[in-house]
Amino acid sequence: MKRYLKDLSMDELQKLIDENSKIEEMVRDRFEEDQMFWIGEYLQIFKKGLKNWSIGFYQRNYLQIGNVIDFILELDNFKNNYGLSEEMDSLLVEALKHYHNQDAENEDFESKLEDYTTALIDMLLDFFNECTDVKNEYLIDTAVMMFEEEQNIYIEDDDFTKAFEQVNYLKTYQ
């Protein structure tokens, strides 16, 4: 019996991904492509605050601060657009209060601001590491979205090791 992938249950999609390396590769590639798009969008906010970064899959990610104050202000902009974890938001609020209420000539001011920034950059890096971590539940979510769009891929007789794609060709002669 022919069953389209869009009609499979979550458990069946998991089984398909586990048993069919081509399908797993398709889903993984789509997940990584989608994540890298969003990572690029996120990083656009930090044009002045970060002087260098490397974020991607299967590598060691890093973020390097360019300007401490710009980073904190850009992180606040990031928060307004995408949100932050409760812990990160709380620390950012403290950093912003410190920035707005202190004298920039004070040595303690800069040291405290750098401490906030170090903690915030570590939390932001954790966020990006999570974005580039491929977990089964992320692959399943991607597969669900992907196969809703791909209406012509199916399996037969509950054989999850093979998937078929129905392709129609049109030849034109003039």
What is the domain partition of the chain in residue ranges? 21-135
**Of the candidates 43, 42, 48, 44, the residue with the CA atom closest to the CA atom of residue 66:** 48
pTM of the model: 0.85
Are 22 and 124 in contact by the 8 Å Cβ rule? The answer is no
Number of residues in the chain: 174
* Percentage of the chain exceeding pLDDT 70: 94
Beta bridge partners of residue 65, listed in sequence order:
50
Q: What is the rounded distance in angstroms from the CA atom of residue 49 to the CA atom of residue 52?
A: 9
pLDDT at 57: 96
pLDDT at 101: 86
Q: What is the rounded distance in angstroms from the CA atom of residue 125 to the CA atom of residue 22?
A: 31
**Of the candidates 65, 61, 41, 37, the residue with the CA atom closest to the CA atom of residue 51:** 65
Are 98 and 112 in contact by the 8 Å Cβ rule? The answer is yes
pLDDT at 169: 73
Backbone angles phi, psi at 69, to 5 degrees: -65, -45
Beta bridge partners of residue 155, listed in sequence order:
3
pLDDT at 105: 64
pLDDT at 103: 63
